[in-house]
Amino acid sequence: MLKGQSSYLRGSFAGAGGALCWSFDGLLLRSVQTDGWQTLFWRMSSYTLVLTCILLWRERGLSPRTFRAIGMPGIAIAVLLAGANIFFVFSILLTAVANTLFLFASVPVFSAIFGWMFLNQALQLRTALALVIGLAGVTAIFADGLQHGSLAGDLFALIAACLFAANLTVIGAYPNTPLFPSLILAGTFAVFVSVLFAHPFKADNRDLALLIASGAIQQTVGVLLFQWGARMLHAAEIGLLALVETVFGPVWVWLAIDELPSSLALVAGLIILVTLLAHSLLAMREQSRPPPP
């Protein structure tokens, strides 16, 4: 096997594996009886602790210089990621898991808008069409949420998607920013916010074990695998693999606790997924063409 093919396969398996780990998010969060702030505290505490230990091992210790190197872009990335995590958790708790994942799948839509607005990136025809169709699907899910009383959860999912897309925009604008310290700082910010409102030690042992597993294993392994895969693949390819979470997340919840989205939300979500799938495939096809002479 050629070296390029081997790297592509490793990147594909890593990216898909990371997204598959994330797909259990909704099921784990729905399986606990804790409130949103308790959930956020234990999940992000364990996630941050594991990432800190990994960084300590990699760097053979930590110094203030490790975190000063991220600069203001790194702090912006951390704040945006912390916000995305907070709103994502509360969205899962307030609306159908499928609604949250379908709306969060619109991250590429908002990334394209922010890239056009702040980075002067041109909007290609396929991207403009994906934006229109994707926003139509988002509007339909919101209309359904208004009808079924889950508007707050749907709104939180959309805010999480916007914050995560803004994070990707900052990373694109400052590609040399060290990401690992920013991830740790994001977790620290989320823990700090949650501890202001949470009563973390009221959680029972079962919920505590599930939340620690969610942060320390499921979230951390997902982040590391997806980040490793992203280094070996084009943006369109890794974006395509991210849809693994959106496809399988509702399936696990349906199989375990028999939760299904409404018909309108399901149709709108499938429209968003098919649109993003077509957009990613077209982008991959374009990237595979040789450059013009």
d(CA 275, CA 215): 31
pLDDT in tens, 136-176: 888 888 888 777 767 889 999 999 999 988 988 888 888 88
Q: Residue 3: pLDDT above 70?
A: no
- Residue 293 located in a structural domain: no
DSSP 8-state symbol, 202: G
pLDDT in tens, 183-214: 999 999 999 999 999 888 888 899 999 999 99
Instruction: Give φ, ψ of 60 to 5 degrees.
Output: 55, 40
Burial class for 35, CB neighbours closer than 10 Å (0-12, 13-18, 19+) = middle
Q: Residue 1: pLDDT above 50?
A: no
Share of the chain above pLDDT 70, in %: 91
- Residue 174 located in a structural domain: yes
- Residue 200 located in a structural domain: yes
- Residue 27 located in a structural domain: yes
- Residue 210 located in a structural domain: yes
Q: Residues with Cβ < 8 Å from 232, sequence gap 6 or more?
A: 7, 8, 10, 11, 14
State the pTM of this model: 0.88
Supply the DSSP string of 133-192, one letter for each residue.
HHHHHHHHHHHHHHHHT-HHHHHHHHHHHHHHHHHHHHHHHSTTS-HHHHHHHHHHHHHH
Mean pLDDT of 29-53: 92
pLDDT in tens, 79-120: 999 999 999 999 999 998 989 998 998 888 888 888 888 888
Sorting pLDDT into bands at 50, 70 and 90, what band is 246?
Answer: confident
d(CA 77, CA 179): 8
In this predicted structure, which of 41-55, 109-123, 245-259 has the lowest mean pLDDT?
Answer: 109-123
Residue 4, pLDDT score: 55
Using DSSP, state whether 268 is helix, strand or coil.
helix
> Count of domains in the chain?
1
- Residue 168 located in a structural domain: yes
In which domain, by residue range, is 47 found? 3-288
- Residue 104 located in a structural domain: yes
Contact 194, 37 (CB under 8 A): yes
- Residue 169 located in a structural domain: yes
